[in-house]
Structure 1
Amino acid sequence: MFWLFTTSASYGANQPDASTAMPDNPFIQNPYGREVFSLNGQWTFIVDPYENGYYNHRYQPHEKEGYFQNKKARAPSDLVEYNFDTAKKISVPGDWNTQYDDLFFYEGTVWYNKNFHYDKKENRTYVLHFGAVNYHAIVYVNGRKVGVHEGGFTSFQFDISHYLKNGDNFVTMKVDNRRERDQVPTVNTDWWNYGGITRSVAILSLPKHYLADYRFSVGKDNSVIRGSLKLNAEAANNETVAVAIPALQLSKEVAIGPDGSADFEFSASPVLWTPENPTLYDVVISYKDEEVKDRIGFRTIAVEGEDIKLNGKPIFLRGISIHEESPLTQGRAWSKEDARLLLSWAKELGCNFVRLAHYPHNEAMLRMADEMGLMVWSEIPVYWTVLFDDATVYQKAERQLQEMISRDKNRASIIMWSVANETPNTSERLTFLTKLVNQARAIDNSRLITAAMDTQSSSTQGKVIDDPLADVVDVIGINSYCGWYSDTAESCAELTWQSNYHKPIIMSELGAGALQGKHGGIHERWTEEFQENVYIHNLEMVKNISALRGLTPWILKDFRSPRRPLNDIQDFWNRKGLVSEKGIRKKAWYVLRDFYQEKQTSD
């Protein structure tokens, strides 16, 4: 068990100093299993490219005159050069890029404000929860700073008990999505830099003393369920927490230690979670005046030689990669409806596995994967060329790893944590990623560790997996675009792969681009026939990899990317999707679907 805290690292050369951050706050498990007051809906916003709402003309942070004060002109002579009450409205959750055409490419500061009425009660703890904000957030409640967070894809929370009032309140935020070299991810990615409050916002109302964290798992022999609990404070003598799993007729009072934590176990043999039978159990945890409910599945995952074993049985991972873009609207996916449709497409493709690239996805996605029976590869955005020789950057990556694992450690669907994608083979990178792998194992030893690598070398026989990172991870991920970035599609079928690591391999990326509806010959770029042909021959190629235990081709759906400007073809979309941005399936979809049907039958 561990505690997670909001980051206090500085952000870029011109950002607020780390010393201005608020004290760290413990992360509360299962926030939407608590008493929740949603702040979703319409907020107002002000675009602030010069950051005048934060800095004065001497480039010093405002103490009293910043936008966070939400100041009003009280008399005709008053000078106030902003007004949230008359500002434009924006939907939260949501990104600003797709809500306003003139902000499509905007990167910089936007101020958000939300006015609301709240009935505050005595002897309660109030926590402001954010599903994610991209990328750097400074949060104020009623004009007072409550915290800072860096990182665009992980949840964070602040205790606002001393800032929230009974009656009228407002939350104001400085949100900055500028790309900087010392960020995670860094300045160059192949996905859209959606800015804004991209996931749900809520106030959690909790008892003064409450259950902050918990974790459940099953023993390797499926004869015991183990768990751990953590309160938000030290416990008094003889305090207990009630834990129950009604469907298994299990319940007990767990004695809490003086430090506010406890471990416990039940003798039990639950039905194990599998893609074919994704069994989830209602779990009820009661402490003082609060009852927390969750739905948790039990399963084991392990590597034995070149096999991946789910619940002790070898399994082949029939997967697809997915970006967090909405299949229903434009911009970021965040809702249950988004998650259900994206994962339904994966199921229709024949998948039992999804790679959620290249960052932690929203919590709805993971809970839906639990329900629908899809195993998950979950990743932090250590992507391409982050500064591997920078200790501060490492701390940012480690913090995001901790935040990812903390939120999702009870999700049975997640079988792998990934620490990186397509990073260069250098000694600095190996040290950096090895530390992340060790940290992941220290936090959670119940899952496998992987990374996607594109650093294979060539030999006269084909490709050789010789990246030293392969020695560190449990499962080797390899990205290869034979027939798209190199070679011809036809040559791919004869390509052989060598590995001396005696570990399972996942082909974590393969594919080609196609504009849906564009047809032509199999050697004409951007046609569905070209993409189809690449898939046909790549799926022959993977049969030559003896240690192959899974695939996650790139990618389920076309997604926005500023790296892809080709007019009338890409138009700032990465066209490698098997489904267009309008939800129409391309010809390659059916090639992969048939391959998975055959694989499922043969297995």
Structure 2
Amino acid sequence: MKYQNKHLIAILVFCIVQYAESQINLITNIDGRETISLNGTWNYIIDPYETGFYNYRYGERNENDGEAYWSRTEVKNKIDRIEHGYESPYEMQVPGDWNSQKEIFEYYEGTVWYQRNFDLKHIKDNERVFIHFGAINYEAHVYLNEKKMGTHKGGFTPFNFEIPKDLLKNEGNFLVVKVDNKRHKDEIPTVNTDWWNYGGITRDVNLVILPDNFLQHYALTINQDQDIKTAIKKSEFELEGHIKLFKSVSNTAVTIEIPELKINKKIIINGDDATFHIKAKKLKLWSPKNPKLYDVSLKFNDEQIKEKIGFRKIETVGKKIILNGDPIFLRGICIHEEIAQDARRATSKSDAQQLLAYAKDLNANMVRLAHYPHNENMVRLADSLGVLVWSEIPVYWTIDFKNETVLNKAKKQLEEMVVRDQNRASVIIWSVGNETPVHEARTDFMKALIVKAKQLDDTRLISAALEVSNKNGLHKVDDPLGEFTDIVSVNEYLGWYGGHPNDTQTASWDIAYNKPFFISETGAGAKGGFHADKETRWSEEYQEWYYEEQINMMKRMPDNFSGISPWILVDFKSPRRNHPKYQEGWNRKGLIDNKGNKKKAFYVLQEYYSELK
């Protein structure tokens, strides 16, 4: 990974050294901890005027305000006035979006209050209890037993709060979450997107039981400084990593074990974090052809965490993307976190299995998870299936690039994404945004995100989906942000947004950067089951023709052409798509329609990818 800007390199080196100063409080590998699931049936109140949060003077209610919707409701005698409550049949399932569960919510954007009770017995004196949310879209206020735990913004990344011991009860803990999915100009993403704004508690909720001090998060990867070909030849590798504890310690050991590699190493920690290196012999590298995962165990005091981790090296050398020392071509496809047949947000392991099975059937070796971090189920399953992953934060279109507060929100979402998935071998690309307009403030904003990404993790490639200009058939790629990304990625739709599919026959490309070039989107819409001649828009035949011509153009691309991820695997819901016959609230660029049927273009791309294999 080579940068042309020497000043940026100096910043990156400094930031990598400063990694330990990261302030994120996220607990990772929830599956490897002692947990109590709070998934299931929750009660709700729909509150478009936020009556439960603000009084009639529009001031935030305090904790002693019995009319606040985080307050218990108890009628002690018939004269009591109670104007809210949580009862059947006002119930929804968690995890899940509210839009697909109740007809009244389909287009709703606003506040919904979620509530459930839980019991929690037998917590020891030396244990801590956290509540962990996989994601809530978008703004969450969390209350327990009428006390506020905290607030989080960001619809696609996890967060957690510690529950004070004196607040917990053995029985009947009263948990309330205010969820607000309204769009705002100064948020990430902003008001204008091209996907459905699903609201709700969309991912798992867990109570996490932990020792007084514990492993908060950690990473273990291949050392990026070693020559991977030499390491493979000698079968001698070096692993590197870091450990973050919840509290500082003095001269205390964390033991890392990888039984299959006969590794048992003690890492001595003074403070709350440490970096380390481990020699490993006869290690089998993770790849799409051999998605090898090792059982890794970390022991600290009385706590033991187990996780499956794969090891691989991803880098760029000149014009090529290199995986484990060999060039690789990314046969990708874009995916939204949606189960189209049910018109809902994907939430479960079986949902992830459905989406990645489609991608595998396409002969894809890579998925672009657009345009936000997807459920952790997706990247963990990608690890086991050998599917490479592009993961992205929703810096999308025209956010407020001049606003320092917005930049900090983007950095926070980036950090939450990276920390959650830093041990996933499948994730090879962090993306800092999509189709952002070129101007100085935007480039400075995006460059700051690249610096932050390198600070957090220098073991993966950094990119962003850029736009390309087309003048008289010449596709010019010269966005100034391309100087700072590891690969240059662009979205192009020649034959759908402008021109006709056969215009690709005379198209040429001028790429300003001597680094790998990736087509991060291309595609055309088709209503599943609508058939006509190939020149009829919205027909499966038009989409098929579009892909045939695109593939012919791909075969003539410059020698730094390193992959493609067409838009998109499956039709998805979007309020922007309003043609009454062909769209009906759906973006129809999917290779699979919203009923689960493969369109004709699916087989065109499937064959091309089969040839590339």
TM-score, normalising length: structure 1 = 0.94
Query: Greater shift after overlay, 422-431 or 212-221?
Result: 212-221
Q: Alpha carbon RMSD of aligned pairs, Å?
A: 1.4
Name the structure 1 match of 2:10: none
1:277 alignment partner in structure 2: 290
Q: In structure 2, the residue corresponding to 1:493 is in which secondary structure?
A: helix
The farther-off stretch of 259-268 and 309-318 is 259-268
Q: Which residue of structure 2 aligns with residue 567 of structure 1? A: 580
**For structure 2, which runs of at least 5 residues remain unmatched after alignment?**
1-18, 232-236
Partner of 2:14: none
Which of 81, 84, 92 is residue 82 of structure 1 equivalent to?
84
| 1:460 positional shift | 4.2
2:407 counterpart SS class: helix
- Structure 2 CA distance for partners of 1:3 and 1:525, relative to 1, 3 Å: farther
Provide the residue aligned with 1:104 in structure 2. Answer: 106
TM-superposed CA distance for 1:82, in Å, is 0.8
Counterpart of 1:226, as a letter, is: E
Q: Distance in 1 between matches of 2:546 and 2:272?
A: 58
Q: Separation in 1 of the partners of 2:360 and 2:585?
A: 28
Please tell me whether residue 207 in structure 1 is matched to residue 220 in structure 2. no
**Could you list the runs of 5+ residues in structure 1 that have no partner in the other structure?**
7-25
The one-character-per-residue Cα deviations of 1:43-73 (angstroms, maximum 9, x if unpaired) are 0000000000000011111112310113222
Report 1:224-373 matches (<5 A). Answer: 224-236=238-250, 238-326=251-339, 329-373=342-386
2:507 partner letter:
L
Tell whether the 8 Å contact from 1:116 to 1:168 is kept in structure 2 after alignment.
yes
Q: Is the 8 A contact 1:3 1:27 kept in 2?
A: no
> Is the contact made by 1:114 and 1:170 (CA closer than 8 Å) also made in structure 2?
yes
> By how many angstroms is 1:259 displaced?
3.5
Identity across the alignment (%):
46
Question: Residue 197 of structure 1 aligns to a residue in which SS?
Answer: coil
- The equivalent position to 1:403 in structure 2, one of 413, 416, 426, is 416
Among 65, 70, 73, which residue is 2:72 paired with?
70
The Cα shift of 1:261 comes to 3.4
The one of 570, 588, 595 aligned to 2:601: 588
Q: How do residues 109-508 of structure 1 correspond to structure 2 at under 5 angstroms?
A: 109-121=111-123, 122-162=125-165, 163-219=167-223, 220=226, 221=228, 222=231, 223-236=237-250, 238-326=251-339, 329-454=342-467, 456-460=468-472, 462-508=474-520
Q: Which residue of 2 aligns with 1:42?
A: 41
User: Is the contact between residue 261 and residue 280 of structure 2 (CA under 8 Å) also seen in structure 1?
Assistant: no
94 and 4 in structure 1: CA distance in 2 versus 1, 3 angstrom threshold: farther
What code does the residue aligned with 2:181 have? N
Amino acid at match of 2:543: Q
Contact 2:20/2:273 (CA < 8 Å) preserved in 1?
A: no
Contact 1:235 1:260 in 2 (8 A): no
* 1-structure distance, mates of 2:459, 2:196: 33
Counterparts in 2 of 1:344 and 1:192: CA distance versus 1, 3 Å: same
**Aligned pair in 2 of structure 1 residues 37, 304: CA closer, same or farther (>3 Å)?**
same
Q: Is the 8 A contact 1:45 1:88 kept in 2?
A: yes
- What does the per-residue CA deviation read over 1:113-166, in whole Å, with 9 as the maximum and x for residues that have no partner? 011111141221101000000000000011110010001000000011333222
1:537-556 equivalence runs, <5 A: 537-546=549-558, 547-556=560-569
Distance 1:442 1:228 in 2: 13
- CA contact 1:495–1:544 (8 Å) conserved in 2: no
Paired residues of 1:46 and 1:87 also in contact (CA < 8 A): no
Does the 8 A contact of 1:493 with 1:539 survive in 2?
no
Tell me if the contact between 1:498 and 1:545 (Cα under 8 Å) persists in the aligned partners: no
In structure 1, the residue corresponding to 2:87 is in which secondary structure? helix
Q: Relative to structure 1, is the Cα distance of residues 569 and 70 closer, same or farther in structure 2, using a 3 angstrom cutoff? A: farther
On the 8 A contact 1:226/1:263 being kept in 2, the answer is yes
Greater mean alpha carbon deviation, residues 83-92 or residues 357-366: 83-92
> What does the per-residue CA deviation read over 1:143-198, in whole Å, with 9 as the maximum and x for residues that have no partner?
11001000100000001133322222021011000011111100010000000000
Which whole-Å CA distance do the structure 2 matches of 1:333 and 1:93 have between them?
A: 9
Measure how far apart 1:4 and its partner are: 6.0
Inter-CA distance 457–408: structure 2 relative to 1 (3 Å threshold): same
Q: How far apart, in 2, do the equivalents of 1:410 and 1:502 lie? A: 30
| 2:473–2:506 Cα contact (<8 Å) kept | no
Aligned-partner residue type, residue 231 of structure 1: L
1:268 deviation in Å?
A: 3.1
Instruction: Write the deviation string for residues 277-306 of structure 1: whole angstroms up to 9, x where unpaired.
Output: 000000011112211000000000011111
Q: Distance in 2 between matches of 1:328 and 1:119?
A: 41
Distance in 2 of aligned mates of 1:84 and 1:583: 37
SS in 2 for 1:396: helix
Deviates more, 1:539-548 or 1:209-218: 539-548
What's the CA shift string for 1:242-262, capped at 9, x where partnerless? 110011111122212134535
Tell me the CA shift for residue 372 of structure 1: 0.3
| Preserved CA contact (<8 Å) 2:240 2:275 | no
CA distance in 2, matches of 1:290, 1:327: 41
The one-letter code matched in structure 2 to 1:169 is N
- CA shift at 1:234, angstroms? 0.9
Is the alpha carbon distance of 1:461 and 1:572 closer, same or farther for their aligned partners in structure 2, counting shifts above 3 Å?
closer
The residue type equivalent to 2:372 in the other structure is: Y
CA apart distance, 1:517: 0.4
SS at match of 1:68: coil
Q: Which amino acid aligns with 1:225?
A: L
Distance 1:147 1:120, change over 3 A: farther
* Equivalent position amino acid for 1:487 in 2: G
Deviation at 1:491, TM superposition (A): 1.1
C-alpha distance 112-203 of structure 1, shift in aligned 2 (>3 A): same
- Cα distance in 2 for partners of 1:564, 1:407 equals 33
Alpha-carbon contact 2:516-2:561 (below 8 Å) kept: yes
State how far apart, in whole Å, the 1-side matches of 2:188 and 2:283 are: 39
Q: 2 CA distance for matches of 1:466 and 1:108?
A: 40
CA distance in 2 between partners of 1:267 and 1:488 (Å)? 54
CA distance 1:87–1:461, change in 2 (3 Å)? closer
CA positional deviation for 1:210: 1.0
The answer to whether the 8 Å contact 1:120/1:167 transfers is no
Pair 1:401–1:260, CA change in 2 (3 A) = closer
* Alpha-carbon contact 1:2-1:443 (below 8 Å) kept: no
1:446–1:305 distance in 2 versus 1, CA, 3 Å: same
Q: Matched residues in 2 for 1:480 and 1:469: separation?
A: 17
Amino acid at match of 1:199: R
Q: CA separation in 2, counterparts of 1:525 and 1:541?
A: 21
| Alpha carbons 1:325, 1:332 under 8 Å: kept | yes
1:14-51 CA-partner distances (Å, limit 9, x unpaired): xxxxxxxxxxxx21121121001000000000000000
State the AA in 2 paired with 1:531. Answer: Q
